[in-house]
Amino acid sequence: MSEEIEHVECLIIGSGPAGYTAAIYAARADLKPVMYTGMEPGGQLTQTTEVDNFPGYPAGVTGPDMMEDFRKQAERFGTDIRFGYVSSVDFSSLPHKVVVDEIKTITADTVIISTGATAKYLGLPSEQKYSGFGVSACAVCDGFFFKGQDVAIVGAGDTAAEEATYLAKLCKKVYMLVRRDEFRASKAMVHRVLNTPNIEVIYNTETKEVLGDGKTVTGVRVVNNETGVEQDLDVQGFFVAIGHKPNTDIFKGQLDMDETGYLKTVPGSTVTNVEGVFASGDVQDSYYRQAITAAGSGCMAALDAERYLAAKEHGVSATA
């Protein structure tokens, strides 16, 4: 069954803060953007509860409500928002080819990639049960809710170290659960952790179960992987900081990535190594990973796409 190929000026892949902000700017610039939401419309923020650090919401907002606002604003200016996932791409020639849901082919003059990243979790059923109710993968987003309380954080990389010191400023006590007898984090970060009095590092330790009262987290059961000895720690918050996976599998071999799969962009822009393809949000940012920084880079991607198209139209060099 052959289908007519649809051509669009600006295709946006992904519907987190980066994608929606790109859509708002692209629609207002009359690029008639078409957005494919992916399988999780709204992205990572739909997994969180309160968001208190996004400017413009003085009373806070829930992640799902905020993403609903983003969607409405993108639609208000005419973004064509479609539920579907991009299953493959071919960026080897212009216009770019994108296959949606494995059946529909779209050609696009510009593509804005905002597919985000996914926080890694331990994979315990109890961790999933209390996700958003004491279990979090973002200390900067959720640490505030545990002010004055005791929390645990899993991980031993730079993120875990940074988040542990962030939490230590807010919380009474932070247990840091490290699975080996050493950190992966840089020496400077480890130094900061070890010199923070209310962080207790517990080495050779793995999480067996997140404990709760049916509603929220009340503790965590850990086991020493050398001795097999188990202990329960009384904590109200359980933070997972074992890394993120950028959602870039479909771009392998097509776009330049770093060794962990994050898309490479020209510093200070959203320009990738392929003409007309721009990347914004967490998919190209392993460092800041905030809704507001993702939104900012979504704006940049739409401006980069608009300028690229304008330059092409006027026969000027099309690359930034």
Residue 245 interacts with ligand NDP (CB under 6 A): yes or no: no
Identified binder of ligand NDP from the candidate list 94, 140, 242, 311, rule CB under 6 A? 242
Residue 184 interacts with ligand NDP (CB under 6 A): yes or no: yes
Least Å distance, CB 286 to ligand NDP, is 5
Residue 191 interacts with ligand NDP (CB under 6 A): yes or no: no
Of 182 and 256, the one with the shorter C-beta distance to ligand NDP is 182
Residue 155 interacts with ligand NDP (CB under 6 A): yes or no: yes
Residue 84 interacts with ligand NDP (CB under 6 A): yes or no: no
Residue whose C-beta lies closest to ligand NDP:
157
Identified binder of ligand NDP from the candidate list 78, 243, 261, 296, rule CB under 6 A? 243
Nearest to 193 by CA among 222, 173, 220, 168: 168
Residues 134-153 binding ligand NDP (CB under 6 A) are none
Backbone angles phi, psi at 136, to 5 degrees: -145, 150
Residue 154 interacts with ligand NDP (CB under 6 A): yes or no: yes
Residue 78 interacts with ligand NDP (CB under 6 A): yes or no: no
Pairing relation of β-strands 150-154 and 173-177?
Answer: parallel
Active-site positions read 138, 141-142
Of 279 and 305, the one with the shorter C-beta distance to ligand NDP is 279
Nearest to 120 by CA among 290, 298, 286: 286
Least Å distance, CB 53 to ligand NDP, is 17
Identified binder of ligand NDP from the candidate list 64, 78, 84, 157, rule CB under 6 A? 157
Residue 160 interacts with ligand NDP (CB under 6 A): yes or no: yes
Identified binder of ligand NDP from the candidate list 9, 158, 285, 306, rule CB under 6 A? 158
Least Å distance, CB 155 to ligand NDP, is 4
Interacting residue ranges for ligand NDP, rule: CB under 6 A: 122, 154-160, 162, 179-180, 184, 242-243, 286
